[in-house]
Amino acid sequence: MSFLFGSRSSKTFRPKKNIPEGSHQYELLKHAEATLGSGNLRQAVMLPEGEDLNEWIAVNTVDFFNQINMLYGTITEFCTETSCSVMSAGPRYEYHWADGTNIKKPIKCSAPKYIDYLMTWVQDQLDDETLFPSKIGVPFPKNFMSVAKTILKRLFRVYAHIYHQHFDSVMQLQEEAHLNTSFKHFIFFVQEFSLIDRRELSPLQDLIEKLGSKDR
């Protein structure tokens, strides 16, 4: 959650996505922050009693976008066309960008370009009221879950890139506790609702197992 980050992390990569104050989704976000504060992340990700699953996933997806936005914002000066000429997560995983509308055929591009495409695309989905309705009583579309899964799958790639290519910079900035807590929250959430295919998580599988084992 955003309250984990110090003022040094206030620089975001893209504009922060705000949930309107006074809305039910805002109340859900406050509930999530309060539960997170208890330190039990497994419990914090569970669907609160009586709440709508789509709405819970929507609120958390917006929050993860904002977290990753801040985390990547802290290391953008180290992630350049020169240092990261391809979007990768270690030597075995390389990502090519396609969004199915503007870029239909996957293109190879640098990590900063890929992440710019990715975060712009995510922001467009979050701003689309037909996909992420913010007004009470407006139903979520039938394809909401598949869109949310694609968003989270792509956001995972930013975590994977940061861990594999920029962890030294994260440590220099003393942001590793923020990164680890944010990623652990993200992983517990996607595991709770089976939102990302296990194969997609392969680049950080060792870390995921390590984070999970600490909570057993």
Q: Show the tokens assigned to 60.
A: 């958390």
Tokens 């990569």 map to which residue?
13
Rg (Cα) of the chain, in Å, rounded? Answer: 17
For residue 88, what are the β-bridge partners? Answer: 94
Instruction: Please answer whether residues 201 and 208 qualify as being in contact, where contact means their C-beta atoms are separated by less than 8 angstroms.
Output: yes
Q: Which amino acid is at 52?
A: D
109 marked ligand binding residue? no
161 marked ligand binding residue? yes
Q: Quick one: angle between helices 111-127 and 53-75, nearest 10?
A: 150
CA dist., res. 205 & res. 130, Å (int): 34
| Beta-strand pair 87-88/94-95 | antiparallel
Q: Give backbone dihedrals phi and psi of 215, rounded to 5 degrees, phi first.
A: -105, 5
178 marked ligand binding residue? no
Residue list, annotated binding site for Zn(2+):
79, 84, 161, 166
Residue list, annotated binding site:
79, 84, 161, 166
